[in-house]
Amino acid sequence: MRVRYPIGPGPRLGWATIARGALAVIVIVAGAFLARICLAPLDVSGTTQTPAYVATAKGNDGFAYSAHAGLATALEAFRCSPTATGLQWLKAAAHARSEREISRAAGGLAVAQERSGAGEQWQSAICGFLRDGFASPGQVLALGEAGMRCPGLAAAPQ
């Protein structure tokens, strides 16, 4: 018996099918990224060449503070790694522009430290993210308000 194949084009993919496929890929990639930063701190400061638009966003303290504080809040809400959460609060403090923002970052640091259950070990890990022992004035204030001390810490020049 001979198999016959239809003549002509195969089935067409509609825009809705293509859109659903693209959305599925985006959800899978975003989920993998979120799972990664939920389990372990993500720190690319000074280690990765970032595109110009990322460098511009990082230079805008209002945007950068909101981004780090929002990510830290989400990590806390999902009960992700306390170190990953604390790192995002530390980064938010670097971009803080007011006492209110510094206090919010300090509160987030304190909550993450408490949730860690390993105060000194957690604090040592957070302090390790400060490059060469330097911190921004906002980070120094937030760490102090959270009751943390990083040995050898010096405020970075403004």
| Three-state DSSP string of 29-56 | HHHHHHHHHHHCCCCCCCCCCCCHHHHH
Query: Number of helices and strands (H, E) in the chain?
Result: 7, 2
In-domain check, residue 81: yes
Could you list the mean pLDDT of each consecutive 10-residue stretch along the chain, which spans 158 residues?
A: 63 76 82 74 65 74 93 93 96 96 98 92 93 87 94 65
> What's the pLDDT score for residue 136?
92
Q: Scanning the structure block, which residue is given the tokens 């599925």?
A: 24
CB 86 within 8 A of CB 109: yes
List all residues 6 or more positions away from 57 whose beta carbon is below 8 Å from its beta carbon. Answer: 63, 64, 67
> What's the pLDDT score for residue 156?
52
Closest alpha carbon to 87 in 149, 44, 35, 133: 44
Q: Scanning the structure block, which residue is given the tokens 């938010």?
A: 92
Measured between alpha carbons, how far apart are the two ends of the chain, in Å? Answer: 83
> What's the pLDDT score for residue 121?
93
In-domain check, residue 101: yes
In-domain check, residue 10: no
Token pair for 112: 């993450």
In-domain check, residue 104: yes
Domain extent for 69 = 15-155
Closest alpha carbon to 147 in 123, 115, 131: 123
> What's the pLDDT score for residue 15?
79
> What's the pLDDT score for residue 1?
65
> What's the pLDDT score for residue 36?
73
Q: Which residues of 52-66 are buried (b: 16+ CB within 10 A; e: fewer)?
A: eeeeeebeeeeebbe
In-domain check, residue 76: yes
Three-state DSSP class for residue 134: strand
> What's the pLDDT score for residue 22?
84
Distance CA 55, CA 39 (A): 25
Total structural domains within the chain: 1
